Structure 1
């Protein structure tokens, strides 16, 4: 099978693909918002964020407001580049 340039198996997982799409549209999003939008358990989302973090596609930061901790996730520059390339590869596969 021919490899399509830009196709990224890390991003291609359905949950990670949706996660990247959501993050691509915004500067950052909280863990809670992502979990609710994706309708997955905390552990599932954590696993997928970790997979993207290991390859440098997302950055995770924590902040506190009134004794509440928030976890913010954002696509890195390389994550944005990889996501765009992956979408281009999917379009090429689909013949667009």
Structure 2
């Protein structure tokens, strides 16, 4: 488990959801994320770009059934940041009880 460390980049609702979803899978396709989060392509792309620029997500273009698809994977750095952020949130919650 990572040390608790609040991460403002991950904390935004949709980026937190992207990290949560990708943390439980080997990879997730853009379309699946879009369906699950109910975001427009441009809004989801912006969140993905921010996470990718920080090194938290890896993007890979693949072709499946003759169609190009974007596949996303949470990097080791992203996993540590996500786990640290969720640990920090748990600490915040526990300290108020």
TM-score w.r.t. length of structure 1:
0.92
Higher relative contact order (CA 8 A, sep 6+): 2
Match of 1:58 in 2: 57
1:10 — aligned with what?
9
1:27-65 per-residue CA deviation (whole Å, 9 max, x = no partner) reads 110000000000100001000000000000000000113
Aligned ranges 1:9-88 → 2 under 5 Å: 9-88=8-87
Deviates more, 1:59-68 or 1:21-30: 59-68
Q: Normalising to structure 2: TM-score of the pair?
A: 0.91
Structure 1 pair 95–67 and aligned structure 2 pair: CA distance change class (3 A):
same
RMSD of aligned C-alpha atoms?
A: 1.1
2: CA distance between counterparts of 1:18 and 1:34?
Answer: 9
- For structure 1, which runs of at least 5 residues remain unmatched after alignment? none
* Alignment match, 2:93: 94
Q: Structure 2 stretches of 5 or more lacking a match?
A: none
Q: CA deviation at 1:67?
A: 2.7
